[in-house]
Amino acid sequence: MRNWEAGEVKIFDYKSETEVTVDRIVKPEEEYGKQLPADVFRIVREQGTETPFSGKYVDHRQKGIYRCVVCGTDLFLSDAKFESGTGWPSFSQPVSPLNILEESDMSGGMVRTEVRCARCGSHLGHVFDDGPKPTGMRYCMNSAALAFEGIP
């Protein structure tokens, strides 16, 4: 994995509403290959992008939380989800800025900002500055990178 080494990271835990310090997850890619379905692996470990309108969370409107499919880190609340029309699940902000990493991504002949999980480094999607107010941000995620849990 690019730019990834062992160490501690502080993330926000939604259920306990506290910041917790955890170890970064560092594993050989072969292990992820065994752990994850091939289509998920291609996206989260090889910076893939799912086909628009193909993901299971594009039109998903239940109340709850979206976590990293690989390590379970809290990423986005349903309250921050909005209809972007792009074909990918879109959010106006993360649960906490602590829980994601934003890195410059020059791949594909474009300058974009990649979004990665702060705990395991997995690729989640990209963030753009054309989102709704008040944040103005559009976190454009791959459904395959997320695991949803409903909150009553």
Residues noted as catalytic: 140
Q: Which two tokens stand for residue 34?
A: 């065994």
| Residues making contact with Zn ion (CB under 5 A) | 68, 70-71, 73, 117, 119-120, 122
Distance of CA 149 to the CA centre of its chain: 15
Nearest distance from C-beta of residue 51 to Zn ion, angstroms: 22
Please state the closest distance from residue 128 (CB atom) to Zn ion, in A. Answer: 21
The DSSP annotation for 39-60 comes to HHHHHHTTT--PPTT-STTTT-
* Residue among 118 and 137 whose Cβ is closer to Zn ion: 118
Of 113, 112, 122, 126, which is closest to residue 29 (Cα–Cα)? Answer: 122
Nearer to Zn ion, 1 or 113 (CB): 1
The nearest distance, CB 1 to Zn ion, in angstroms, is 11
- Judged by beta carbon, residue 3 or residue 130, the one nearer Zn ion is 3
- What proportions of the chain, in percent to the nearest 5, are helix, strand and coil? 15, 35, 50
Q: How far is the CB of 55 from Zn ion (least distance, A)?
A: 17
For residues 9 and 120, which CB has a smaller minimum distance to Zn ion in the complex? Answer: 120
Instruction: Give the integer Cα–Cα distance in Å for 105 and 9.
Output: 22
Cβ-count burial 47-65 (b if 16+ within 10 Å, e if not): beebeeeebebbeeeeebb
